[in-house]
């Protein structure tokens, strides 16, 4: 949800694909956690908006600092 809120407010977003937090709620009829994670990663890999980007990377590709010019 944090990714969505940032994106709709006009921020560039980065989803780290192998650093999700979730739990398995399949006993309540929901998909298992691995399917929820796969869906979330796929969803965010296709998002775009005017003047902003959304990206999905694994931990090794994540940069948590501003790139230097």
Q: What are phi and psi of 9, to 5 degrees?
A: -90, 5
Q: What are the tokens at 66? A: 């501003």
Q: What is the pLDDT of residue 37?
A: 93
Surface-to-core class of residue 15, CB atoms within 10 Å of its CB (0-12 exposed, 13-18 middle, 19+ buried): buried
**Contact call for residues 19 and 59 (beta carbons, < 8 A):** yes
pLDDT digits (tens, 9 = 90+) for 12-55: 998 999 998 888 999 999 999 999 999 999 999 988 888 888 99
CA angle 18–2–49, rounded 5-degree value: 95
Rounded to two decimals, the pTM is 0.77
Q: What is the pLDDT of residue 69?
A: 59
pLDDT digits (tens, 9 = 90+) for 12-23: 998 999 998 888
């Amino acid at each position: 949800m944090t990714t969505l809120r940032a994106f709709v407010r006009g921020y560039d977003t980065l989803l780290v694909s192998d650093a999700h937090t979730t739990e398995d709620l399949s006993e309540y009829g929901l998909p298992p956690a691995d399917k929820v994670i796969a869906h979330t990663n796929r969803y965010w890999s296709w998002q775009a908006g005017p003047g902003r980007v959304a990206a999905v990377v694994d931990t090794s590709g994540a940069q948590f600092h501003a790139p230097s010019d």
